[in-house]
Structure 1
Amino acid sequence: MLKHCSSFLFCLIVLISSSTLAQNSQLLNFNELSQQWNNELNQVEKELSDANLSDDRLSALRTQLLELQKKLQTIKIDLSEQQKTYQTQLTELGPPPAEGILKESKAIARKREVLNATLSETTGQVKETELIQINADNLIERLSTIRLNRFTKEIFSRSLSPLSGQAWLKASTEALEKYELQISKYQQLLADETFNSTFKSGLAYLIISLIPILILMKIIGNWLRKRYGRIAALPEPSYYEKLRAGLVLAITRTLFPMTIAIGLFILLQSGPLSSFFPAPMVKTVLSVLVMIYLVTGISRSMLAPDDPHWRLIPISTDNAAYVHKIIIGLSILFGADLILDNYFSLEKTSLEFNVIRKFLAGLLISGFLFALVIRKSIWRPDIQHNFRNEHPLKLWQRLRIIMALLVLAIPVTALAGYVAMSKLLAAQIVLTAGLYILLSTIKTLGMELIEELLDPDRQTGAKIQANLELDQDGKEILEFWIKVVFSFIMFFIGLVGVLIIWGVDSQDIMEWGYKAFLGFKIGDVTISISNIFLAIFLFAGTLLLTRVTQRTLEHRILPRTRIDKGIQHSIRAALGYVGFIIAFMAAISTLGLDLSNLAMIAGALSVGIGFGLQNVVNNFVSGLILLIERPVKVGDWVVVGDQKGHIKKINVRATEIETSDRATLFIPNSELISRPLMNWTHANQTGRLILPVQIAYGTDIQKVKAILLKTAAKHPEIQKYPEPNVLFRGYGESGLNLELRAFLFDVEKVNLVMSDLFFEIDDLFRQEGIEIPYPQRDIQLKDSDKFLQAFVDAISNNKHH
């Protein structure tokens, strides 16, 4: 026994020591990592102090800091999870017993001690990680400030004025020298036998390889154009058909040059030819060629200068051809400028040459843009081709004025010596306009697709509307919110694109997005876009699953059971409430909100609810009582006050009742609980019919009774037991009052049965000569003798006259 106890103690000591060593090694590992991170930040800070640090090195340091930030965030999340785990374990152990109470076991005390020490160390690691994150954030902000200052200095720095004659002389001389040098290089290249043989063999191999690919693309392009392109049989195509055909034509027209460009790039960068052609230059030239083809194809597809029926932009044919030529010229000019920038970045050039070259490029671009601005008719949408609701005319005119001012600023800033600013304005205006056109096209296409998908006349729209149980108003609301979300996404993409075009670093935007996605703190509250979207997704997904489950129960499962329809409705409604509660709790837990805080908020709001929302809460609770106690259920025929009808739906606030006039009556649920209510069909569908009959005095009452009983016995909706009976209700002013009383199988048919009985009774009374009385009135005149005597005297006087 002692031997086993010693073995157990030895194992226990080994486990405790191993866990302690593991904790120490983990702590040692974190200490090494933190020291490494601090050294890395110190090195970055030292490099940032160098005023001659290159832009490439700044970008590399920024990438390094961003990667470090991601590592720190990941480690911080892991440490925070460990911290929560240790805190939960301590909470489960509870506080140590007070003095004077039975002591706890040594194992529990040791475990509490270890957990407290581990929690303390983990908390310290979390704090230290946060401090390192703050230092990294400060360095990133410092680096961004340095880059912004450099960019601002470059843009607003004044160089040589293009008006200088010496600058033009030196630039033209240098351009001529470079041209002659380049011609000499190409002549030498063409005289090289190795290059010629290699290039000819490679070109032949490329042609042989591209022929089947081009044939296949030709077949695919023809099929796409035939199926989705411009169909001559459509005299007035819809906007969606125009947009689809334009995109197909633009893509098919770009397939050939893109394929050839890829083949040439592979050829020129393969084997010995790569030494003759620098890869960046080849890539730039071929990319520019593809870009020119693509821009030309998109412009021709949207403007359709040769086919106005397929034009997407509401302008006249002359203006469409005019704008198309300007777009082609701008694309060629931009492509050439990009090639020259890439080429001269590999060559040493003088300041005068760069200034004159950039001035000429900006001047040409401003000339094309000015030609676009100066033509007023372009900025006035053609009424005959106004396919969609365009912006107001005033907005287009204001946009034209703003663009004219920006275009005018291009040559003015260049002549003033701010050549970099001039070149920036020229490029950014064109790129911003291109981005606007692209996003507007995508947005329009998206809106058309949303309308088509939700169109109830189409199969997809009908299924969506049926599955979600949407009426016309619900469909319009869903379509509206989908369009709002899509428009917000397009706006966000456009905003990011404009920021990038106008100089904001893409890494800065990615950093902002990364922080917003993972979460940022405002005070003690952490806001995370990822958690918000996940919460919305879980909430909407759970509600959608609940709705699908409700529809499955309502249409497939419950109808095959013998459960009453009212109980089926209660089950469906209860499932909806449960699903909403689960969805709400899932969303709250995903957002990471403390439920105790929500309880405090709910307690504070209860006062407001007690005063301001008393009726709403009263109706909601009453609705739950109606669903649980079920004094009324869907399908019951009820009478509330002077209103009666069938219950169609029990909602959260009010109950819908359909009257016999097919009008919908909304009665608050609290009214159905607090006021007297007659439910004709609560237990079953049977009910009593009371039919009043009046006959003339002197009629054989027994004969009438037999007729009434015979008529009731023949009607199929009247029960045989209890038997119908006739009551003598007394003497009326005009006749004898009788009542035919009978029980119906379905009380909802009482009006129809009464009508049938009245028709039958009236027919039998006519056959038997039974009189149905009408109101009789006896008129008595006071002092009638005096009135007659006066009347006689008046007549006699008339005779004497």
Structure 2
Amino acid sequence: MDMTQPSRLVSLARTSWFGRIAAGLVCVLLLITLEVSAPMVSAQVSGVPALSDEENQEWQATARRAELTLEAGRASDRALERLRAQLVEWREVFTDAQGGHSQRIDNLQSQLAVLGPAPDDGSESAEITARRQDLTERLAELRAPVLAAETAASRAAGLIAEVDTVLRNRQADALVSIGPSPLNPVDWAEGLAELKDAVFVPLQEVRANLDNELRLFQFRQNLLVIIPFSLFGALLLMRGRSWTGGLVSRLRERLRLASGARVTASAEILTFVVSLGKVLVPWTGLLLLVQALLLTGMFGLRGEALIAQVPLWGAILLGAVWLCDKLFSDPPAPAVFEVDPGRRPALRRVGGGLATAVVLAQVGATFEALSGLDEVAGVLLAFPLMVISSLALMRLARLMRALTAPALAALTEGEAAPLRLRAANLLVRGAMVIAVLAPLLVAIGYRNAAEALIYPAVDTVGLLAILFAIHHLATLVYALFTTRDDPSEALVPALVGVALAVLALPILALIWGMRFTDLTELWSQFMAGITLGDTRFSPRDFIAFAILFAVGYVVTRLVQGALKTSVLPKTRLDQGGQTAVVSGVGYLGITLAALVAITGAGLDLSSIAIVAGALSVGIGFGLQTIVSNFVSGIILLIERPISEGDWIEVGGQMGYVRDISVRATRIETFDRTDVIIPNADLVSGTVTNYTRGNTVGRVIVSVGVAYGTDTHRVEGILREIAEDHPMVLANPAPAVLFQGFGADSLDFEIRAILRDVNWALSVRSEINHAIAKRFAEEGIEIPFAQRDVWLRNPEVLQPQAPGTPATAEAEAGQADTSEDITPKDKEV
């Protein structure tokens, strides 16, 4: 047997997309299981014991055998995979052993650090020297198996890398290997003859079993089971889809009259789940038919092997038809893709045809593997099946291009297309290229390369359809818990889409030829993390840190809520003090949560302390303003010169304090606008707090009266007005001051202390109204501005006779001026 024959690549390329998706899901679940179980292993307190002599010899033999196998280069792919699995098991053993006695080693190292280095002058006591030597020997004894495990793990990792390199090289060689062409007429007679013989072999087995009395006796014994299985299976297979479709239609008709987004979403989820019966019910019938055929015992080994694959092929067909129905449903049923209703039947037919082509290719690949066909017969069988798949893929790509073309044509010049539209256009072009290239490659003789293109492309289409259906279901579920009119545009469905895309990456990697072992190796390297200094940071550590910090954060918020709503309102603290306590508890809780998360995750930051210190200096210069504001925010919370609800004035801005955060304080002005003031300005600048401690404040009302008014009478009236206002305090009593003699009036001021200065503007307005009313009643005049104009030479305003000296001089001046005026100026 030729060990370089690409048998594994061929079998991989012919694996059904359903099987590859299942393998990808198993891969994801396995990786998650390994991730969950890994901390349990690493969390063991006792160290991993060293290998015994027998185990060490077994490892040395395995490693030596692997080296000889790689040097020979004649092992098959299957043998190399088995050898690699053994090496991976040994590497895991050595990796676990590297953490053995870690606590005891840390303890010995800490004891040696306490003793310090031995003095050069030999002044150390003999007891300390003996103790240091004993600790050093014990440390070396404990480190020996760890170092041996590190060496063995490195050797195993190197051998694994060599095996992977060999397998990848063989896979690459298989892609470019050339074989017989299906268009060569010379090979047709030989290939068709072998195909004919391969078809007649299962038929001969059936004929032989019919002539076998033992087989006939077994058939009669199972007849009471075969008949009901056949009848019931055929009934479910033929009528299952129509029964389920009728049930879905009646259910949608009953729920059609319901209103509300949540009711509609629940109805769609219900019909979505019930519509799965279109797959499950006929597939159950198919299983019964297959079991009935196997119970007959008449089909021989090859026939039974083919029949055993029928449920898988039926699941592909039924699932594909169901997906097409969900993606391109006819009204009134909602479709995942809102396309022209006239094109939906064509899209469903093309999707079903693509699934049929995949199933036919799987049937051909299974038949070829069971019959052991040679390359000529195999390529004659595979070529027409590949052409059918290419035609179906091309038809789907052309339909999708017809759907995206109007949207692309509607874009204006210079306008960028949306990401979804660009991705769809790129996928359509890629599908067209593959649909044309694959048949050409297999016609030339590059069958492996063609199969590595066409079938993964078809599998990718099926995977995308499944992802879109799952995302649609997730959007419907989200619609049950939201009040948005369009849940599909919300953030949560978008995040679900991103998560589905990430989870689909390993499945896509398997579809496009990546080996499962390569995927697990990449995952192992990812989980190993990165190394900074002497500290390794792995994703497991970050996950543990995130979980612990999230728990601490939630606990902090719960404590803050309890303090704010239950504890602090029962104390004598004012609102500002309560806010300061709640904020301080929040900062303290988050700090403790971060410390607990770092400690609990096992992150040792001591080895990067120097690097962090150097970075902190540079960051400090760049973020000194932010740090200053942060420290100022802490000072504001401790000293509490201002509190939420205070009326303050700072930097020319006046308003009420609405929020004091770590970096800045938000005040609301009287214009109902928010002003963000950095905390550093509040600490270092001048701040006027009108309501600090209490709301008592003074208001000043100015008024002027005409000259000649009795000032004592005005003073008494103003005092009565101030004392009569309910917001003015009686003690201290309001004062009325005769300020002086103004340019137009005698100026007076009312100075009154208010019980709530927040009403100063309203009080001033009401006092002004009262002054105007009382002055009108008392006949006191409030003067307006007056000015006396004195003329220095009033005689120029008197009319004079012509010829007088003044008139002559004025006419001369006018004549001189007119000489400089142009005709254009005269027009103006």
TM-score tier by shorter-chain length is 0.7 to 0.9
Q: Are residue 289 (structure 1) and residue 309 (structure 2) matched?
A: no
User: Which residue is 1:146 aligned to?
Assistant: 166
Classify 1:680/1:280 alpha carbon distance in 2 versus 1 (closer, same or farther; 3 Å).
Answer: farther
CA distance in 1, matches of 2:660, 2:188: 86
| Distance of 2:242 and 2:341 partners within structure 1 | 30
Q: What are the residue-to-residue correspondences of 1:514-553 with 2, within 5 Å?
A: 514-521=524-531, 526-553=536-563
Pair 1:115–1:456, CA change in 2 (3 A)? farther
The CA deviation at 1:293 is 0.8
2:463 and 2:509 map into 1 onto residues whose CA distance is: 12
Asked if the contact 1:198/1:273 (under 8 Å) is kept, the reply is: no
Give the Cα separation in 2 of the matches to 1:284 and 1:550: 61
Counterpart selection for 2:404 from 363, 367, 380: 380
> Matched residue of 1:662: which SS?
coil
1:75 counterpart residue number: 97
> What does residue range 596-611 of structure 1 map to in structure 2 within 5 Å?
596=606, 599-601=609-611, 603-605=613-615, 607-608=617-618, 611=621
| Structure 1 residues 274 and 165: CA distance shift in structure 2, 3 A | closer
Alignment partner of 1:347 is 2:374: no
1:155 Cα shift? 2.9
Quote the residue 1:430 is aligned against. Answer: 458
Unaligned runs of 5+ in 2: 1-46, 411-416, 805-828
User: Relative to structure 1, is the Cα distance of residues 735 and 222 closer, same or farther in structure 2, using a 3 angstrom cutoff?
Assistant: same
Is residue 753 of structure 2 the alignment partner of residue 746 of structure 1? no
Change over 3 Å in CA distance of 1:292–1:33 after alignment to 2: same
Structure 1 residue corresponding to 2:515, chosen from 505, 520, 540: 505
SS at match of 2:309: helix
**Bigger shift: 240-249 or 110-119?**
240-249
Deviates more, 1:682-691 or 1:200-209: 200-209
Provide the C-alpha distance between the structure 1 equivalents of 2:61 and 2:610, rounded to a whole number of angstroms: 46
- Paired AA for residue 218 in structure 2: F
* Distance of aligned partners of 1:555 and 1:793 in 2 relative to their CA distance in 1, 3 Å threshold: same
Tell me whether 1:128 sits opposite 2:153 in the alignment: no
Contact 1:303 1:311 in 2 (8 A): yes
Aligned-partner SS, 2:100: helix
CA 1:222–1:408 in 2, change beyond 3 Å: closer, same or farther?
A: closer
Task: Report the AA paired with residue 449 of structure 2.
Answer: M
2:435 corresponds to 1:413: no
* Secondary structure at 2:179 match in 1: coil
Q: Does 1:254 align with 2:279?
A: yes
The residue number in structure 2 matching 1:471 is none
Choose which of 623, 628, 639 in structure 1 pairs with 2:649.
Answer: 639
Q: 2:723 — aligned with what?
A: 713
Q: Is the 8 A contact 1:230 1:245 kept in 2?
A: no
Pick closer, same or farther for the CA change 1:93–1:73 going to 2, 3 Å: same
**What is the deviation of 1:658?**
1.1
Alignment of 1:740-779 (within 5 A): 740-779=750-789
Contact kept, 8 Å, 1:647 with 1:656, in 2: the verdict is yes
1:148-186 Cα distance to aligned partner (Å, 9 max, x none): 233233332222222333432223223333333322322
Letter in 1 for 2:314: L
In percent, how many aligned pairs have the same letter? 28
Preserved CA contact (<8 Å) 1:366 1:408: yes
TM-score normalised by structure 1 residue count: 0.81
Q: Within 2, Cα distance between the matches of 1:671 and 1:794?
A: 75
Deviates more, 1:753-762 or 1:363-372: 363-372
**2:649 alignment partner, SS class:** strand
Deviates more, 1:737-746 or 1:391-400: 391-400
Q: Which amino acid aligns with 1:403?
A: A
SS at match of 1:77: coil
Contact in 2 for aligned 1:724/1:741 (Cα 8 Å): yes
- The alpha carbon displacement at 1:584 in A equals 3.8
Structure 2 residue corresponding to 1:169, chosen from 172, 189, 194: 189
Q: What is the deviation of 1:500?
A: 0.9
Aligned AA (1:56): R
Alpha carbons of structure 1 residues 398 and 567: separation in structure 2 relative to 1, 3 Å: closer
Equivalent residues in 2 for 1:189-228, closer than 5 Å: 189-190=209-210, 192-203=215-226, 206=229
Q: Report the equivalent of 2:327.
A: 302
SS in 2 for 1:639: strand
Contact 2:236/2:285 (8 A) holds in 1: no
- Matching residue of 1:791: 798
Offset, 1:766: 1.7
| Residues 1:359 and 2:379 are matched in the alignment | no
Structure 2 equivalent of residue 469 of structure 1: none
Matched to 2:285, the amino acid is I
Q: Which moved more, 1:129-138 or 1:411-420?
A: 411-420
Q: Do 1:253 and 1:297's aligned partners in 2 also have CA atoms closer than 8 Å?
A: yes
Q: Which has the higher contact order (CA 8 A, sep 6+)?
A: 2
Distance 2:365 2:354 in 1: 16
1:288 is displaced (CA, Å) by 1.0
How many Å apart are 1:142 and its aligned residue? 1.6
Q: CA deviation at 1:140?
A: 1.2
State yes or no: 1:184 paired with 2:209: no
User: Partner letter of residue 791 of structure 1?
Assistant: Q
Instruction: Using the TM superposition, give the Cα deviation of residue 297 of structure 1 relative to its aligned residue in structure 2, in angstroms.
Output: 1.1
Give the structure-2-normalised TM-score: 0.78
Q: Does 1:672 align with 2:695?
A: no
- Partner of 1:526: helix, strand, or coil? strand
Task: For 2:790, give the aligned amino acid.
Answer: Q
Residue 162 of structure 1 aligns with an amino acid whose one-letter code is P
Between the aligned partners of 1:216 and 1:365, the Cα distance in structure 2 is 28
Residue equivalent to 2:85 = 63
Return 403-412 or 530-539, whichever deviates more.
530-539
Equivalent AA in structure 2 for residue 176 of structure 1? K
- Asked whether the 8 Å contact 2:351–2:396 carries over to 1, the reply is no
- Bigger mean CA deviation after superposition, 663-672 or 207-216: 207-216
Distance 1:590 1:69 in 2: 27
Count of residues paired in the alignment: 745
The answer (yes or no) to whether the contact 1:97–1:103 under 8 Å persists in 2 is no
* 3-state SS of 1:346 partner: helix
Task: Answer whether contact 2:535 2:604 (CA < 8 A) is retained.
Answer: no
Matched, 1:619 2:647: no
Out of 183-192 and 423-432, give the one that drifted further.
183-192
1:43 equivalent in alignment to 2:68: no
Match of 2:392 among 368, 374, 378: 368
CA 1:216–1:169: 2 relative to 1, 3 Å = closer
- 1:160·1:352 contact (CA, 8 Å) conserved in 2? yes
1:659-686 Cα offsets, whole Å, 9 max, x none, are 1111112222222222222211112111
1:303-318 superposed matches below 5 A: 303-304=328-329, 306-307=330-331, 310-318=334-342
Displacement of 1:233 = 5.8
In 2 relative to 1, CA 410–791 (structure 1 residues): closer, same or farther, beyond 3 Å?
closer
- Matches of 2:253 and 2:567, distance apart in 1: 48
CA RMSD of aligned residues (A): 4.4
Worse-superposed segment, 46-55 or 64-73: 46-55
1:246-294: CA deviation from partner (whole Å, max 9, x where unpaired): 8546522111133334556667778989997887544421111122111
SS in 2 for 1:124: helix
What is the letter of the counterpart of residue 436 of structure 2? Answer: L
| Contact 1:685-1:745 at 8 Å conserved across structures | yes
SS at match of 1:690: strand
Verify the 8 A CA contact 1:315 1:381 in the aligned structure 2: no
Query: Structure 1 residues 793, 47: CA separation in 2 closer, same or farther (over 3 Å shift)?
Result: closer
